[in-house]
């Protein structure tokens, strides 16, 4: 592998810092985060167990899981070589509603970033509505992913900035009243290219399956 002049090499290794900052913003904004969280603060309405409102308020999970433990260590090692498998939990204003974890590493000139976020809605019905609404956006419509959660979709794309390509795949999943978002992206700082589309989409789907399994059985919050 050829050696890069020090300033260029240094710039290449500092680029992930900007990527991390962007990803942190994306998490705080959230690809499926609500415009407001009024449903979490609304006073509960009295209803009988057999009333229509009780059915609408069915809640599969009470809180997000510990996010860094949901993606298997072997998955992290395969997707993000040289990353610490323990991951780094993302900051959140309310951990009873949202939690997330990220893994990133630079191996030689190959950079990879993986993150998973969990957002708990007040009911399964509200989560289903939020998932459907996000899917109406052209940028989030994506392709359906079978066998992951109650419903899932995949979006992917290639971007280029200052001659550097970055490829990203995002899997959005609904499982009960939980919205799970997995983001996987990568760049090659030597060739200025990006990993193949199949590498990123297959990796994102693998991590999504782990993340959903990490939720455990439904019923924890019902």
Write down the pTM of the prediction: 0.77
pLDDT tens string 153-209? 999 999 999 999 999 999 999 999 999 999 999 999 999 999 999 999 999 999 999
Own/partner contacts of 69-72, CB < 8 Å, gap of 24 or more, are 69/214, 70/101, 70/116, 70/118, 70/210, 70/211, 70/213, 70/214, 70/215, 71/101, 71/103, 71/114, 71/116, 71/207, 71/210, 71/211, 71/214, 72/210
Segments of the chain with pLDDT less than 70: 1-56, 220-222
């Amino acid at each position: 592998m050829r050696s890069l002049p020090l300033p260029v090499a240094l710039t290449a290794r500092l680029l992930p810092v900007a990527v991390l900052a962007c990803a942190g913003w994306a998490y705080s904004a959230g690809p499926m985060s609500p415009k407001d969280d009024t449903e979490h603060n609304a006073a509960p309405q009295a209803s009988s167990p057999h009333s229509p409102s009780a059915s609408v308020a069915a809640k599969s999970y009470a809180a997000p899981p510990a996010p860094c433990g949901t993606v298997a260590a072997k998955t992290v090692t395969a997707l993000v070589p040289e990353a610490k498998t323990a991951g780094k939990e993302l900051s959140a204003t309310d951990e009873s509603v949202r939690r997330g974890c990220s893994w990133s590493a630079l191996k030689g000139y190959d950079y990879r970033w993986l993150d998973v976020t969990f957002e708990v809605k007040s009911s399964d019905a509200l989560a289903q509505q939020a998932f459907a609404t996000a899917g109406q956006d052209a940028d989030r419509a994506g392709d359906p992913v079978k066998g992951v959660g109650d419903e899932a979709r995949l979006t992917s794309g290639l971007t280029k900035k200052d001659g550097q390509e970055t490829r990203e795949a995002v899997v959005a999943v609904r499982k009960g009243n939980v919205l799970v978002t997995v983001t996987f992206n990568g760049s090659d700082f030597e060739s200025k290219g990006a990993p193949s589309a199949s590498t990123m989409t297959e990796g994102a789907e693998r991590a999504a399956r782990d993340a959903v399994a990490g939720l455990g059985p439904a019923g924890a919050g019902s």
